[in-house]
Every structure is written in structure tokens, then in C-alpha cells.
């Protein structure tokens, strides 16, 4: 027994909300033929989907055999859809590449019935709808009426309590429609059929109850099922539900699923081959990209290592810590960095950055290296016989340079000897021109780079 209690269904969000159902109060007997009539868009399909568990309601309650679906788990819904409900659609929804028999059998595969049993029951269902001699045909070799019969057979093969039909005759001519309605009427003798239709004549002729829907509300019910009648039917329904629950649910066995998938692959061989081909291209592509990227990364890492290892380390006799004026220097001495750290309220701190920079430049914090001892150390370590450490392993070359001026003199046109060192030549030239010592010093300092002589 099925009860809808103030069912509301809204589609969409906030401002674009569609109120498909606005409080539907309805109950169905265990066996009757209910037609739902109403203009397009009034919520008929929505109502059918909610009854069939294909769609969730927004509020209200759907009570199945006395049990509220609010406490239904996903598995409960599955059992309900698989065992209690049969669907018939306007567009048949048959699988085109499978035979009529397989199409009907498929509905049983999901319920865990053995193969021989499946075949027998599918054949029976097809015989019931008058298609006993067309088992091997494919759906596209059949007429609309025949396809709808197959769909009805498929809905019936599970022996459901409820058959839901959404405009089953919508795409059929009058004569075929009548045949289908006759068939449905026959079926409705021992189960509940809820049929949505556009055709009031057919509804009136064949169904036992007509419910009219308008804008998501029930406006008319020709044979309401409510009050004491419902109360009387409830205990029996609960008993039935309990018995069914005890039986436990059946599901498709693993091997059936495997065989079904294999069968599906084999029926569409070309597609399967193409898909596998495309799939392998994808997998190979990804593998290739991964391989190349890993290789390039490794190469970049090795190049970086090599470059850094060949980078020279130069050690001079005198070293100035240039970073001292770039990095801020010693803050305790001048207190200038206090501005960056915690400081007292309303206090003003100086940050004599320029002063510090010049200070470091002109009175640099020099450090002396003892190069004589260091050279002795290197000489010892680079000689495999005297080495005490593995230093030579990390060193590819050592170059020493000495601050020795090259005093080379040449004779000029006037027969005088002048130094060949460009920097000195320029400084003496500058001295002659302006007698400006500072200028000549600066020039000579700049020109040392142009020295003709270089150690190698």
C-alpha cells in the first residue's frame, strides 16, 4: 500500500524555484488502475518519479506498506525499485542492440535470478503481452505498439506490486493505444497501476480511478482512498512488508555481472576495439610524458650540480664583509634596527643606513687570511702522497694569482721610457692635464681592468 502525505517537490534554487508539486495527499489501493490526468507541466511525471523512488521529495512523506521512506537507506530504495516497481515509459527505453528476450531478461538480471529461470520468466512475460513468437527480434524491427508491449513485459517480469506508466500510449495511434490499454487493464486485476495520460477518453474507459492534477495540486479524485478504509488496510500491508524484509534482498551475482559486461563488450566489438585502442594511446601517452618529464628533471638537476661544482671559490688575502651593510649590520651597536623590532612607545629611532654603508665602504671590516699557511695546506692536500683528507676529490683546478705589478717599459717617440701599464699611463696623463689627483686616481682605478698584462 502506498500513501503520499503532503508531498512537496521544488526544483531549482532560491529565485528560480519551480514548485512542481505543492502538497499532494494521496493513497492507493493494492490493486486498482489509476489514471492521472492533467495539462502538460502540472507535475504528473514528477509525481510518478517520486512514487517510483527515482526522485526525492522536498518535504512531506511517502509511506510504503506502513513504513515511512524518511528512514529508508539507499539499499532500501534499491530493493524497492528492483522488486516492487515496474516502469513503462512513453519512449519505451529498450536496448536497441539486444533481442526482445534479452531486453526483458535484463530486468531480472538485476534481481539475482538464475539464467534458466530468467529465460523462462521472460518468455512467459512476453507471451502474456502477446509476443511469444517474436522473442528473437530486435526492437528496431518492431512497431511502436509491439515495442511498448515489450516494455510492459519488461516491467512485469519482476512481478512488481506497482506498475508506473508515463504516457504509455503517447506515441501510439488510437487502435494500438486501445490494445495497450486492454493489456494494462488485464494486468491491473492483481496489482496497482498508476498511469499518466493526456487522453481523458482512454482514462475514463479503462481505469477504475481518475486523479486530476493542476499546477502540482490534486483538484479531483474519482474514487478517493482515505480515512477508515486506509486504517483497515494498514495492518495487512505492514505484515506483508515484514514478510518481504525477512526474505532478504537478492542482488546480481558477481558472475552474472561479469557475464553481462562481457556480453555487452562482445555485442559492440568494433566499439570495444576502438575504445581499447584509444585507451591504450592515452595510457602510453601519459607514460611517455611521465618518462620524458622525469628524464628532463634529472638532466636539469645534474646540469645544476655540475655548474655549481665548477663555480670557482676565490680566497683573497684581505676580505671585506660586504654583506654587513646590505644586511643591516650590527644592530646592538647603533640601535638602528630597533625600529623593526620591539620598541618603546613614542620613542623615535634613527636608521642611519647611508652612514653605515659609507662606513663599511671606507672603513671596511677587513679580515686577513693567512694565505701562506693555506697554500702550504693546499700543496700538501693536492699531493696524493701527503694528503690527509679527500680534498683533491672535490677540486678540479687551483689557480694562484699574485699581486705583482708588471713593470714593463717602452720607449716613446721622444726617446723617453714610459710604463706600458695603461692605468699608470692614464694617471700620469691626467696629472699632466689638470693636476687633479682625485680625478687621476679615479681614472686609474677604473682602468686597471684595461691592463695589458694578465696572469694566466
Residue 41: contacted member of ligand ADP, Mg ion, none (CB under 5 to 8 Å, by partner type) = ligand ADP
For Mg ion, which is the closer residue by CB, 108 or 202? Answer: 202
Residue 262: contacted member of Mg ion, ligand ADP, none (CB under 5 to 8 Å, by partner type) = none
- Which segment (44-52, 98-106, 174-182, 257-265) binds ligand ADP by CB under 6 A? 44-52
Among 2, 4, 42, 88, the residue binding ligand ADP under the rule CB under 6 A is: 42
Cβ-Cβ contacts under 8 Å for 252 (sequence gap 6 or more): 109, 110, 111, 112, 260
CA distances for 330 relative to 1, 212, 241, 273, 324, angstroms: 89, 91, 86, 74, 8
Beta-carbon neighbour count of residue 57 at 10 Å? 23
Among 43, 139, 145, 329, the residue binding ligand ADP under the rule CB under 6 A is: 43
For Mg ion, which is the closer residue by CB, 24 or 113? Answer: 24
Concatenated DSSP letters for 93-145? ---TTS-HHHHHHHHHHTTT--HHHHHHHHHHHHHHTT-TT-TT--GGGS-HH
Least distance to Mg ion, CB of residue 64, Å: 23
Beta-carbon neighbour count of residue 111 at 10 Å? 17
Q: Which of 252, 277, 314, 270 is nearest to 110 (CA)?
A: 252
Q: How many residues bind ligand ADP (CB under 6 A)?
A: 12
Decide: helix, strand or coil at residue 453: coil
CA 336 to chain CA centroid, Å, is 53
Provide the residue count of the chain: 456
Q: Which of 356, 341, 84 is nearest to 237 (CA)?
A: 84
Q: Which residue do the cell numbers 686609474 mark?
A: 444
Least distance to ligand ADP, CB of residue 211, Å: 12
For ligand ADP, which is the closer residue by CB, 47 or 156? Answer: 47
45 near Mg ion, judged by CB under 5 A: yes
Q: Which residue do the cell numbers 486523479 mark?
A: 211
For Mg ion, which is the closer residue by CB, 86 or 329? Answer: 86
Cβ-Cβ contacts under 8 Å for 440 (sequence gap 6 or more): 426, 427, 428, 430, 431
Residue 42: contacted member of ligand ADP, Mg ion, none (CB under 5 to 8 Å, by partner type) = ligand ADP
For ligand ADP, which is the closer residue by CB, 166 or 336? Answer: 166
For Mg ion, which is the closer residue by CB, 45 or 360? Answer: 45
Among 13, 40, 310, 416, the residue binding ligand ADP under the rule CB under 6 A is: 40
197 near Mg ion, judged by CB under 5 A: no
90 near Mg ion, judged by CB under 5 A: no
Q: Contact positions toward Mg ion, by CB under 5 A?
A: 45
Q: Contact positions toward ligand ADP, by CB under 6 A?
A: 11-12, 18, 20, 38, 40-46
Amino acid at each position: 500500500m502506498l500513501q503520499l502525505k503532503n508531498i512537496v517537490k521544488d526544483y531549482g534554487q532560491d529565485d528560480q524555484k519551480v514548485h512542481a508539486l505543492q502538497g499532494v495527499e494521496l493513497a492507493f489501493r493494492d490493486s486498482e488502475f489509476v489514471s492521472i490526468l492533467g495539462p502538460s507541466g502540472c507535475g504528473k511525471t514528477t509525481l510518478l518519479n517520486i512514487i517510483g523512488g527515482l526522485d526525492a521529495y522536498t518535504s512531506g512523506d511517502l509511506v510504503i506498506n506502513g513504513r515511512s521512506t524518511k528512514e529508508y537507506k539507499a539499499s532500501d530504495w534499491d530493493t524497492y525499485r528492483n522488486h516492487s516497481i515496474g516502469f513503462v515509459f512513453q519512449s519505451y527505453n529498450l536496448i536497441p542492440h539486444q533481442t526482445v528476450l534479452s531486453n526483458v531478461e535484463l530486468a531480472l538480471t538485476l534481481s539475482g535470478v538464475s539464467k534458466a529461470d530468467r529465460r523462462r520468466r521472460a518468455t512467459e512475460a512476453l507471451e502474456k503481452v502477446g509476443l511469444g513468437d517474436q522473442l528473437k527480434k530486435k526492437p528496431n524491427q518492431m512497431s511502436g505498439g509491439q515495442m511498448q508491449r515489450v516494455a510492459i513485459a519488461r516491467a512485469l517480469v519482476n512481478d512488481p506490486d506497482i506498475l508506473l506508466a508515463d504516457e504509455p500510449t503517447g506515441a501510439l495511434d488510437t487502435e494500438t493505444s486501445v490494445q495497450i490499454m486492454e493489456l494494462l487493464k488485464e494486468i491491473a486485476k492483481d496489482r496497482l497501476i498508476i498511469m499518466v495520460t493526456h487522453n481523458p477518453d482512454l482514462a475514463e474507459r479503462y481505469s477504475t480511478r481518475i486523479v486530476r492534477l493542476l499546477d502540482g495540486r490534486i483538484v479531483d479524485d474519482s474514487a478517493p482512498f482515505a480515512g477508515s478504509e486506509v486504517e483497515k488496510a494498514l495492518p495487512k500491508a505492514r505484515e506483508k512488508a515484514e514478510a518481504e524484509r525477512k526474505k532478504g534482498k537478492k542482488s546480481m551475482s558477481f558472475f552474472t555481472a561479469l557475464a553481462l559486461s562481457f556480453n555487452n563488450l562482445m555485442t559492440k566489438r568494433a566499439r570495444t576495439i576502438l575504445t581499447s585502442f584509444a585507451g591504450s594511446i592515452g595510457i602510453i601517452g601519459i607514460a611517455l610524458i611521465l618518462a620524458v618529464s622525469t628524464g628532463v628533471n634529472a638532466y636539469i638537476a645534474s646540469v645544476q650540480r655540475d655548474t655549481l661544482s665548477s663555480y670557482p671559490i676565490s680566497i683573497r688575502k684581505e676580505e671585506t664583509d660586504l654583506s654587513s651593510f646590505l644586511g643591516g649590520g650590527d644592530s646592538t651597536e647603533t640601535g638602528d634596527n630597533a625600529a623593526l623590532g620591539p620598541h618603546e612607545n613614542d620613542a623615535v629611532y634613527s636608521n642611519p643606513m647611508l652612514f653605515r654603508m659609507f662606513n663599511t665602504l671606507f672603513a671596511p671590516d677587513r679580515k686577513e687570511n693567512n694565505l701562506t699557511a693555506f697554500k702550504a695546506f693546499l700543496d700538501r692536500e693536492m699531493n696524493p702522497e701527503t694528503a690527509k683528507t679527500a680534498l683533491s676529490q672535490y677540486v678540479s683546478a687551483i689557480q694562484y694569482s699574485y699581486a705583482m705589478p708588471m713593470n714593463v717599459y717602452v720607449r716613446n717617440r721622444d726617446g723617453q721610457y714610459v710604463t706600458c701599464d695603461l692605468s699608470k699611463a692614464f694617471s700620469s696623463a691626467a696629472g699632466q692635464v689638470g693636476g687633479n689627483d682625485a680625478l687621476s686616481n679615479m681614472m686609474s682605478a677604473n682602468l686597471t681592468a684595461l691592463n695589458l698584462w694578465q696572469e694566466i
